[in-house]
Amino acid sequence: MTVFTFIEILGTLAFAISGIRLASAKRFDWFGAYVVGFTTAIGGGTLRDLMLSLTPFWMLDATYAVVTAFALGIVIALGRYLIRLNNTFFIFDAIGLGLFTVVGIEKTLAAGFPLWVAVIMGTITGAAGGVLRDILINEEPLIFRKEIYALACVFGGVVFWICEMAGIRGGALQIATAASVIAARIVAVHYRLRLPVLK
């Protein structure tokens, strides 16, 4: 297992657990919680793949469905003790967000689209799963009102752009992009940075 795969599993786990926990707050049953967790984990990438005319990534590799089942088991087994792990999950979630953004950008460029489309697709890959989660549990999307979230993906996209123009390629480019998304999230939550609200 490569480091990349390990990080992807951590991110999938964090996304799935966030969906399962919110579903449980709505008193969904185990199956409903699994569906919400799975949608949170794979929803953004699925939307991206459909728009790129590709087969959704999770249909080619059972890992994501299995990791979501594992996430359900964790929430069932640990229940309210999970609250103590909130900081851990926040870090996992930020790491997942950074990685998913990089995957989204690179897959879009590989499909032949320009960079501005890739930045949008990176943001969709990272953030749309959470929006679909909130639609399923019938709540207003959280990421449109709380600390900067999807904008961290856009920021990562801009960093990718600058790094690429500066001649940075390969692993260094990936790490710089993901790290800037993760850093943006940590800074945003630490200082409670929010965007202005329209009136």
By CB under 8 A, name the binding residues for a second copy.
20, 23-24, 26-33, 35-36, 46, 50-51, 53, 55-56, 59, 62, 65, 75-76, 79-80, 113, 116-117, 120, 131, 135-141, 143-145, 148, 150-151, 194-199
Q: Which is nearer to a second copy, 3 or 197 (CB)?
A: 197
**CA 171 to mean position of chain CA atoms:** 20
Distance of closest approach, residue 63 Cβ to a second copy, in angstroms = 12
Q: Which is nearer to a second copy, 141 or 175 (CB)?
A: 141
Distance of closest approach, residue 120 Cβ to a second copy, in angstroms = 7
Contact 143, 150 (CB under 8 A): yes
Distance of closest approach, residue 195 Cβ to a second copy, in angstroms = 4
CA distance 166 to 192: 32
Contact 191, 143 (CB under 8 A): no
Contact 69, 34 (CB under 8 A): yes
Q: Which is nearer to a second copy, 145 or 169 (CB)?
A: 145
φ, ψ of residue 16 in degrees (nearest 5): -60, -45
Contact 101, 157 (CB under 8 A): yes
Distance of closest approach, residue 62 Cβ to a second copy, in angstroms = 6
